[in-house]
Chain A
Amino acid sequence: MRGTSAAAFRRFEPLLPWILPVLAIAVWQLLGSLGILSNRIMPTPVKVAEAAVRLTLSGELPHSLAVSTWRALAGFLIGGSIGFLFGLVNGVARLAEKLTDSSIQMIRNVPHLAMIPLVIVWFGIGNEGKIFLVALGVLFPIYLNTLHGIRSVDPGLIEMGRVYGLGRGALYRKVILPGAMPSILVGLRYALGIMWLTLIVAETISSKDGIGYMAMNAREFFRLDVVVLCILLYALLGKVSDLMAKGLERSWLKWHPHFGKPRANPPAA
């Protein structure tokens, strides 16, 4: 009996996270249809879906999505690489850390969105400004977590690597980087969140296309269905980046008892 119910639970387990969102949408639609929630304040899910179809057919939605995604990824790659490199170098070289760390910390403490006015003057309202801001926002969590990850690699393992004749390159590849990886991936997850946040704010304030622009524009014309659609898109995009980060964790940290799939062999006592 217990076995069958456990099996049933396992079959429905993947659906569990979806129960709450689906329920919320159902209640929302119900309130709207009954007239309790005015359409002028909050359009119903059906209205939002209609807007999505209309904007998709007109090509506006796919274009905005593509533009925003491209900016996000470009900024992420640039900022992430710089942060990773600085973290890596400062993690092993005392001199480099002494030289750069305090400057990086100072810049980090400036809210990067406060630079928007300056960025508009520098780059105008094209792609460069957004990519710059995203890169700036993403750099620090990656930098900090890479540095921390490298610092927290067990010195015993590094000593072991030396005893077993690993060269400098092999020591990095086999001991230091994999050891820092859990921490780096935490930084990556933070960075992905900051990536979307920065981009949307930047696009809302100064832009001529992208999802943020679409939302801002819709507000001007009081198209609340489009505004709600944009908000839902943010939620979805955030979820997608989170899934990507989780996928990376699962494939890069499969040795970790926390992330790996349970093995056929039970842990020995």
Chain B
Amino acid sequence: MASAFRQAARKSAGRLIGAPEPGDGPDRPQRADGPGGPEEGVGTKSRIVTEFENGAFHGVGPDRRVRGMSIDLRQVTKRFGNGPAVLEGLNLSIRAGEFVAVVGRSGCGKSTLLRLMAGLEAPSGGVILRDGRPAAGLDPSARVMFQDSRLLPWQTVEQNVMLGAQGLGRKEAREKARETLRLVGLEARARDWPSVLSGGQKQRVALARALIGNPRLLLLDEPLGALDALTRIEMQRLIERLWLRQGFTALLVTHDVAEAVALADRVILIERGDVALDLAISLARPRVKDTGFAHFEKRILDRVLEPDGRAGAQAERVYPI
């Protein structure tokens, strides 16, 4: 199995940016489903391995069950009060099931972008389409994970997770909460208060709370920013695993370019209120820090660190939208 991973990684290391390769089309070898068939819930691990072995590297390949939401931002502008525009005439299209990372210097408006998509803020101009329909306010199938876990300290871990399962019966919600906590490896802490958990554990509970309602869009607002390096890597793997399994659309706002490259299908750089770079990351999953990885990381970093003098230049668009 391990060799299969390596093989896959090597195969894709040569592939860089560009249009989808012929291998991504329907003529690709079909997955040989085991006797269990493709139902959900059959051994998470083996399922993901099967996906890797079949080469569904972009996560949007046809054999990953995609149930995510597509999002289109058209000429979106956002200003607070009479201040300058934080985002101006921004266009962005996110396909269903895609994993998009948004990077940029602090204060560039990347968090505002996320809040607009969540419906926490209304755009000052332009339209946001969710699944092709104009968005109005909060959407029950979109969930946000914040930088601080925002768990209710007066509710147990389990009750906090149940909060994400509005509309379910109490018993059903509890069962579902247990199940979701098992996914993030915290089943044993179900009855604890959040105050006794570590920062990483709290974020895992927050992730469980976001995922319990099977969201179609998961918005991650620097959820790993406050964690130590090792916990971060663990959390990145967990998020990737759950994203592969559940097929939702993910938007990750982060200031960590390596994290963006490790997780995303596309990395978007926001600068001066607009998309300054839109780069497809065509690396195999799970991603290893090889030369391909370094290439993408350097490319994005170089662009981020470029002096502002290039502001007037044409935005660099590589991804065919």
Set A165, A255, A266: member contacting B193, Cβ < 8 A? A255
Instruction: Check: A219 CB closer than 8 A to any chain B CB.
Output: no
B166 touching A165 by the CB < 8 A rule?
Answer: yes
Nearest CB to that of A253 among chain B residues? B154
Set B138, B154, B167, B196: member contacting A268, Cβ < 8 A? B196
Nearest CB to that of A165 among chain B residues? B166
B198 touching A159 by the CB < 8 A rule?
Answer: no
From B37-45, B62-70, B139-147, the one touching the partner chain is B139-147
Task: Report if A267-B150 is in contact (Cβ < 8 Å); known contacts: A162-B138, A164-B163.
Answer: no
From A100-108, A228-236, A241-249, A256-264, the one touching the partner chain is A256-264
Instruction: Check: A8 CB closer than 8 A to any chain B CB.
Output: no
Set A161, A260, A268: member contacting B201, Cβ < 8 A? A268
Instruction: Check: B136 CB closer than 8 A to any chain A CB.
Output: no
Set B153, B155, B163, B198: member contacting A269, Cβ < 8 A? B198
Q: For chain A, which range describes its interface: under 10, 10 to 19, 20 to 34, or 35 or more residues?
A: 20 to 34
Instruction: Check: A163 CB closer than 8 A to any chain B CB.
Output: yes
List, in ascending order, chain A residues with CB within 8 A of B118's CB: 163
Q: In B153-197, which residues have CB < 8 Å from any A CB?
A: 153-155, 163-164, 166-167, 189, 192-197
List, in ascending order, chain A residues with CB within 8 A of B153's CB: 255-256
List, in ascending order, chain A residues with CB within 8 A of B143's CB: 163-164
Interface SS of chain B: helix, strand, loop or mixed? Answer: loop
List, in ascending order, chain B residues with CB within 8 A of A161's CB: 163
Set A163, A178, A269: member contacting B138, Cβ < 8 A? A163
Nearest CB to that of A154 among chain B residues? B150
Q: In A82-122, which residues have CB < 8 Å from any B CB?
A: none
Set B120, B150, B193: member contacting A157, Cβ < 8 A? B150
B148 touching A268 by the CB < 8 A rule?
Answer: no
Instruction: Check: B152 CB closer than 8 A to any chain A CB.
Output: yes
Nearest CB to that of A258 among chain B residues? B195
Interface residues on chain B, number (Cβ under 8 Å): 28
Distance A156 CA – B150 CA, assembled complex (angstroms): 7
Nearest CB to that of B165 among chain A residues? A164
Task: Report if A164-B154 is in contact (Cβ < 8 Å); known contacts: A265-B196, A268-B197.
Answer: no
Instruction: Check: A175 CB closer than 8 A to any chain B CB.
Output: yes
B195 touching A255 by the CB < 8 A rule?
Answer: yes
Set A166, A257, A267: member contacting B166, Cβ < 8 A? A166
Instruction: Check: A160 CB closer than 8 A to any chain B CB.
Output: yes
Distance A161 CA – B146 CA, assembled complex (angstroms): 12
Set A159, A174, A267: member contacting B163, Cβ < 8 A? A174
Q: In A150-181, which residues have CB < 8 Å from any B CB?
A: 154, 156-157, 159-166, 174-175, 178-179, 181
Binding site for A on B (CB under 8 A): 118, 120, 138, 140, 142-144, 146, 148, 150, 152-155, 163-164, 166-167, 189, 192-198, 201, 209
Query: Would you mind naming 14 contact pairs between A and B with Cβ atoms under 8 Å apart?
Result: A156-B146, A159-B120, A160-B146, A162-B138, A164-B163, A165-B138, A165-B166, A179-B154, A253-B154, A255-B155, A256-B153, A265-B196, A268-B196, A269-B198
Binding site for B on A (CB under 8 A): 154, 156-157, 159-166, 174-175, 178-179, 181, 253, 255-257, 260, 263, 265-269
